[in-house]
Homo-oligomer: A and B are copies of this chain.
Amino acid sequence: MNVFLIGANGQVGKHIIQLLSDSSDHTVRAMVRNEEQAIQLKQSGVDTVVASLEGSVDELAAAMSGSDAVIFTAGSGSKTGFDKTLLVDLDGAVKSMEAAEKVGAKRYIMVSALQAQNRESWKNSPIKPYMVAKHYADRMLIASGLNYTIVKPGLLTNDPGNGRVQASATLSGGAIPREDVAKTVVATLIEKNTYRRSFDLLSGDMDVHEALKLL
């Protein structure tokens, strides 16, 4: 698949670029916010495009043209205000879904957050407003015409991955290395058992591919 990656400059995004570049099944085009980030990626030989999640659906569609699949792993981050949570994590995400539909990129993989579907689990969380944005981005994706997968990892760590996870419709608290999230996301691309499904994801004892087949 020709994969369009949104959030290419993020930590999970960088792992995904590596995996897709190494793969013989896929190509990757990385979307970043500014030229500075683009230069770095281009120097590593990555097909890179500059576009903003705060721009229009048409701008995103132009950047996405020719793609078969979109991976969304962008985030406004903890250093910006909740205005950006609304503009990027919610509206930016949904605009990228509309762009994907526009260019016929039917496959869409969203990196969401553990238990984003379950308000009760984040009712007292300090990041509750962020969870609201992820919750509705996910619901808009489910209601879209796209062939989606929603991957909802727990606490992200920078530990090296071991390719072993636990994946299920609902899991309670735990962590997972970013490298294993990336590996799972890339594995979902062509794993039909993940099509039009959402799942929580933590470190575990099952091989990624096996865990996805048993969802």
Chain A interface (Cβ < 8 Å from any Cβ of B): 56-57, 81-83, 85-87, 90-91, 94-95, 119-120, 123, 128-129, 132-133, 135-136, 139-140, 143
B residues less than 8 Å from A120 (CB atoms):
56
B residues less than 8 Å from A119 (CB atoms):
56-57, 91, 95
Closest to A85 in B: B86
Closest to A98 in B: B119
Given contacts A82-B81, A140-B139, contact A91 B56 (CB under 8 A): no
Instruction: Assess the B129–A86 pair: CB atoms within 8 A.
Output: yes
Instruction: Assess the B140–A87 pair: CB atoms within 8 A.
Output: no
Give A66 to B23 CA distance when docked, in angstroms: 59
Closest to A57 in B: B119
Closest to A133 in B: B86
Instruction: Assess the A83–B129 pair: CB atoms within 8 A.
Output: yes
Contact of A87 among B57, B95, B132 (CB under 8 A): B132
> Which residue, A57, A91, A94, A135, has most C-beta atoms of chain B within 10 A?
A91
Contact of A85 among B82, B91, B94, B95 (CB under 8 A): B82
Question: Which 8 interchain pairs have the tightest Cβ spacing?
Answer: A82-B82, A86-B129, A83-B129, A86-B132, A91-B132, A82-B83, A136-B136, A143-B143
Instruction: Assess the B87–A128 pair: CB atoms within 8 A.
Output: yes
Question: Would you mind naming 18 contact pairs between A and B with Cβ atoms under 8 Å apart?
Answer: A56-B119, A56-B123, A81-B81, A82-B83, A82-B85, A82-B129, A83-B128, A85-B86, A86-B129, A86-B132, A86-B133, A87-B128, A91-B119, A94-B136, A136-B136, A136-B140, A139-B140, A143-B143
Closest to A143 in B: B143
> Which residue, A85, A90, A136, has most C-beta atoms of chain B within 10 A?
A136
B residues less than 8 Å from A87 (CB atoms):
128-129, 132
| Contacts beyond the supplied A81-B81, A82-B83, A86-B129: 17 A-B pairs with Cβ under 8 Å | A56-B119, A56-B120, A82-B85, A82-B86, A83-B128, A85-B86, A86-B86, A86-B132, A86-B133, A87-B129, A90-B90, A91-B132, A91-B136, A95-B119, A136-B136, A139-B140, A143-B143
